[in-house]
Chains A and B, each alone.
Chain A
Amino acid sequence: MSAQAVSGRAAATYEPRRDARRIRGAIWRGLFFGATALAVVLLGMLLWSILKPGIPWLSWHLITNMPSRIPEKAGMNSAIWGSLWLVSGSGLIAFILGLGTAIYLEEYADDNRWTRFIHTNISNLAGVPSIVYGLLGLVVFVDWMHMGRSILAGALTMGLLILPIVVISSREAIRAVPLSLRQASYALGATKWQTVSAHVLPAAFPGILTGMILSMSRAIGETAPLIVVGGASQVLYRPDSPFSSFMVMPLQIFNWTGRPQEEFEQLAAAAIIVLMVILLIMNSVAIYLRQHFSKKSRW
């Protein structure tokens, strides 16, 4: 249908050039698709490079056994437990400190240069290389506070590492709660704490949970700080107290890749698969929780 058929006048003043625009649109679409395809392919290749050597070594032994010098007998039980303890500990620390900080900065603190300075610094801390946290942990927790290379020291170190993420995402979640909700609460004669606890936090909870998911996913995979704070030695038992030494999955993987035998390389690949599965389970649980709470306090 030509432009002429629609309106003689329109044809005189407009040049739609629809074909040219359509082609340009198609080109961009192709480029975006290409980028996606490339990403998918690279990820696929990455996965395949892990799955191929790893799958044959997947077994219950891997999960239930302790590490050993014999590849067939080696397992990552201590590492799994260590990771779980560590992630829970650091998550707890980061949650308490981080949420508290976010609530204070968003709800109680004045908006002045000082608080904005604090916020900028917290954001910057998120970008500090993790090894720096490891060194910090070594000096302060392991040495000065005499915690030794214990889970407590590790949890505190990792807690600090993920703290900025929790603070920032919690702040965003709290900030996203609309003013109208708070005003409704205040107008009924509620105090600030009543407003925050009964309305703001429940409404912000999905967002806060998202922040926690992100941060704990990071914590479970970080290696460098734990090399410094946890040590790279063998640990052949499950941790039984916050003060015991520990092994975590990424470290175990790191150890095994350092071994000369080829079997250990494949074992490492299998361990990576286990790590990814655990990560997937963690994320799914958290996403499920977030959906559940989202529905309840949808605003």
Chain B
Amino acid sequence: MSTRLTYENQIQELRDLVVTMASMVDKAIARSIDALRTQNVTLAKDVRKADKEINRLRWEGEEKSITLIATQAPMAGDLRRITAGLEIFSELERMGDHAAGIAKIVIETADEPLLKSLVDIPRMAQVAREMLDESITAFMNQDEELARAVVLRDDEIDDINDHVYRELLTYMISDPTTINRATHLLWAAHNVERIGDRITNICERTVYTITGQFEELSGGRKKRQRAKLEASANGTSG
């Protein structure tokens, strides 16, 4: 039996909170993309309402974490995980905001027909949802390998995002009347791409809790981009 049962229980509460919040965010992403695809305003309104609950959970998580720090003086690994937890609550809340943003787009473009049937954006969202699930698992299990692998998948989202961007650009150039709807879709895609970035942040935090060192992680794509930039700055051709 642990010598700090109350403390362990409090930590477990925080872990449960992270899992609960993550599943709520997952649901929000799924539903908001669904609403986008089917132009379902009711569903969109639900998503926005549910976001309030996600926000509430974030504050609950923060409060509980701070109380834990003040009363139980966590150290070493515990301390790293709890402070990482504070960041994770924040990131999850913002991910919820992104999903709510997509829902808002649905409501605003309700009276216009869809520009095209959506395939790519839902694909992005699916990847994001998988990444979210894996990143939380990596944090809970303190799995460094998994965390790093998730970060690399962010490339997929970025690639699809590029594709969506170019496609919508084509639409806008060929038919200016589509500009309004296209930009809205661009914005929705952007929200999903940001969700991916936030998941990357969560994974960075996770690696910190395991190794005790801060390390900036990025997908291979960003690495290549950076390398290209540096190469051109040095005068060699990319």
Let me know if chains A and B touch directly in the complex, using CB atoms closer than 8 Å.
Answer: no
Residues of chain B whose beta carbon lies under 8 Å from any beta carbon of chain A? none
